[in-house]
Amino acid sequence: MSNLNIKPLADRVLVEPLPAETQTASGLYIPDTAQEKQHKGTVVAVGNGKKDEPLTVKVGDTVLYGKYSGSEIKLDGKDYLMMREDDIMAII
């Protein structure tokens, strides 16, 4: 994790997506053209939550999110997703 100078507002969460799988469980290598983006990542920054709803995720949590969740942003040369906590399906 890096020290980003960003603070999400309200119930927004900044997630660093995990890299795509390069190998199957049976050991086969997946070519770059066939790799799919994973739908999990690590939380790197969180907002303060809404007035009556504190956030349940915290920095360092690994989370699952929907395929079309969040807005892609680039900070310090790395790709991140900014999403609402509602877009997060589970903490793993």
Tell me: the pLDDT tens digits for 44-58? 999 998 888 888 999
The predicted model scores a pTM of: 0.82
Residue 32 three-state SS? helix
Beta carbons of 80 and 15 less than 8 angstroms apart: yes
How confident is the model over 18-32, as a mean pLDDT? 79
Number of other residues whose CB lies within 10 A of the CB of residue 20: 12
The pLDDT mean for the chain works out to: 87
Q: Which residues contact 33 (CB under 8 A, 6 or more apart)?
A: none
**Which of 20, 40, 21, 36 shows the shortest CA–CA distance to 89?**
40
Confidence label for 88 from pLDDT (cuts 50, 70 and 90):
very high
